[in-house]
Amino acid sequence: MKIALLYGTETGTTEMLCEDLEGHLGGDHEVEMADLGDTDPTSLDGDSLHLILCSTYGDGELPATAQPFAQALIDAGADLSGIRFAIFGLGDSTYETFNEGSQKLAELLVKHGAKQVGDRTTYDAMSGDMPEDSAFPWAEERIAEAEPLFAAS
């Protein structure tokens, strides 16, 4: 399966997790990784499952690298009806706006027609778990959910 790993980050933690996930999935799938800040929403490939990892910044805002993507999506009014994605949020539950960045991004993608595969999964930095302990199973479950969808199209 073709997988586009996209990340939005403020401090680089999400990018590092994305790199780990790329290594984890790379043996079984065709994986490309990109920063959302370098991604034009109109160039998303309908033949790929988009696995998006996104942190939260400030008062529940998108992180710095996800903001240009979101703004370009809004400005272009892009139709993403052929796009399938799953989203994984990273955050800290001591903040009232825990994981709102990933929620906002998911809502924006759906608003522009993209189809979400599975529920949004969130990682809490206060849990004491490593983020890959949640992200690897999340990715594998979403890929398993998406494979029949891509086989049918």
Give percent of the chain above pLDDT 90. 92
For the segment 123-147, the average pLDDT, to the nearest whole number, is 96
Domain holding 126, by residue range, is: 2-151
pTM of the model: 0.95
Which pLDDT band holds residue 151 (cuts at 50, 70, 90)?
confident
- The β-bridge partners of 57 are 61
For the segment 60-69, the average pLDDT, to the nearest whole number, is 94
For the chain, the domain total comes to 1
- Return the CATH number at 66: 3.40.50.360
Tell me which residue of 78, 79, 76, 26 sits closest to 51, measured CA to CA: 26
> What's residue 78's pLDDT?
87
> What's residue 58's pLDDT?
87
> What's residue 153's pLDDT?
66
- For the record, the structure tokens of 15 come out as 């990018």
